[in-house]
Structure 1
Amino acid sequence: MIEPIARIRIEIEDTNPLVWRELDVPLSTTLAMMHDIIQVVMRWWDYHLYEFEIGDRIYGVPSSDDDLYERKVYKASGLRLATVLERGIREFLYVYDFGDNWRHRITVLDVRQGDADVEYPRFIAGARRAPPEDVGSISGFEEFLEAVTDPEHEQHARMLEWYDGPFDPDDIDEQHLHMIIGDFAARRRGPLMSHRGTGRKKPS
């Protein structure tokens, strides 16, 4: 099936070196599906709330608590990427885990017709492994990296135990990402995602 697709770039703000990914996604992708895609390519585990900041609106999973903060949250499942582009918006934010506050800048680099023999979404490229869940924001991630990459660091063993294995900041495991995004593409017309475990199953 030939459909219009967008090349998007996802960057986690304030990471240095920068953590980023590029993908081709259909314009029919809803923000809720975009959330699932980002969870996969950043190896998050969907333990926390999220929202998209697009123009002057917030999209996520509406809650009765929103009234307490005098904010309107629109359904992420109700907005497609095509509509975002029709509004003239080519850059927006995705925020995951309001405690650690991981801010992902999403930029639409290009829009074109997809290839008939390619299933989308499709992983294109990326660099640097994303922070682990619950590592404690940018400062916590920097401390974690310092410890896990230095065998002589006094917290080295404790951090490896906490993460449940080694952590190579340069290895994003492209083969795994191609495979799981390919699986997502194959399932796109059916139930969303089966990548989440029921327990804390961390990637090594």
Structure 2
Amino acid sequence: MSGVANSQVYQLKVSLRRISPMISRRLLVPEEMTLYALHRTIQIAFGWEDCHLHAFKLHGRHYGRTWTGERHRDAAGREVTFVDLQLRVRQRILYEYDFGDLWEHEIRVEAKHEREGGKVYPVCIAGARAGPPQDIGGPPGYAALLDRLRFGDIERLLRGEDVVRGR
């Protein structure tokens, strides 16, 4: 237990790629956290439903699940922790979610801090903009949705119609 009390916390900035203006979250995660737990944390932070496959890419290796649902040859994210990865400040990880829509996230290690006693991790400490809807078609579909909302669908939205799915 004393190891956890003396452990470090990583400050991460998770940003969606190919989206402007930026959608991001700033997270504090414990060094003993697995990549799978980080995946679940990102899902919650962006408001997604965790119903698609995902992968992390770092140092030319993949961590996550393949199209067939089997583990990648390198390692499964359920077993790999931040300690195992020996991440440095300013290092970047690519996180892909939903291989059909291809939501790419850049995860940047901003800082390492000493763990604060009594504080529960992970925690989201900041963010910019709401996460995009699930199954919208990735960044191009999200951009099209924003265009529809800007150019006339706002009245349909106010009437309770589903402008996200086009129904």
TM-score, length-scaled by structure 1: 0.69
Task: From the two aligned structures, give the one with the greater helix fraction.
Answer: 1
- Pairwise CA distance, 1:159: 9.3
CA 1:136–1:17 in structure 2 vs 1: closer, same or farther (change >3 Å)? same
Residues 45 and 73 (structure 1), Cα distance of their counterparts in 2 relative to 1, 3 Å cut: farther
Identify the residue that residue 61 of structure 1 maps to in structure 2: 65
How do 1:18-33 residues align onto structure 2 when only pairs under 5 Å count? 18-33=22-37
| Structure 1: runs of 5 or more not aligned | 165-204
Residue 147 and residue 73 in structure 1: after superposition, are their counterparts in 2 closer, same or farther (change >3 A)? farther
Match of residue 138 from structure 2: 137
| AA of the residue aligned to 2:162 | E
Pair 1:122–1:145, CA change in 2 (3 A): same
Alpha-carbon offset, residue 13 of structure 1 = 0.4
Q: Which AA in structure 2 matches 1:49?
A: L
> 1:55, 1:89 within 8 Å by CA — same for their partners in 2?
no
Could you tell me how far apart the structure 2 residues matched to 1:104 and 1:138 are? 11
CA shift, 1:62, in A, is 5.5
Task: Pick closer, same or farther for the CA change 1:153–1:96 going to 2, 3 Å.
Answer: same
Match of 1:81 in 2: 82
Structure 1 74/159 Cα, relative in aligned 2: closer, same or farther at 3 Å?
farther
Greater relative CO, 1 or 2 (CA 8 Å, sep 6+):
2
Aligned CA RMSD, in angstroms, stands at 2.9
Corresponding residue of 2:102: 101
* 2:30–2:122 Cα contact (<8 Å) kept: yes
Q: What is the DSSP-based 3-state SS (H/G/I as helix, E as strand, rest coil) of the residue aligned with 2:108?
A: strand
Q: Which amino acid aligns with 1:59?
A: Y
TM-score of the pair, normalised by structure 2: 0.83
Q: Tell me whether 1:123 sits opposite 2:127 in the alignment.
A: no
Contact kept, 8 Å, 2:89 with 2:109, in 1: the verdict is: no
- The answer as to whether partners of 1:84 and 1:90 remain within 8 angstroms in 2 is no
Which sections of structure 2, spanning at least 5 residues, go unmatched? none
- Counterpart in 2 of 1:183? none
Tell me whether 1:17 sits opposite 2:18 in the alignment: no
Post-superposition Cα deviations, 1:123-149, rounded to whole Å, max 9, x if no partner, equal 110001121111011111011112234
Distance 2:124 2:118 in 1: 15
Does the aligned pair in 2 maintain the 1:5–1:25 contact within 8 Å? yes
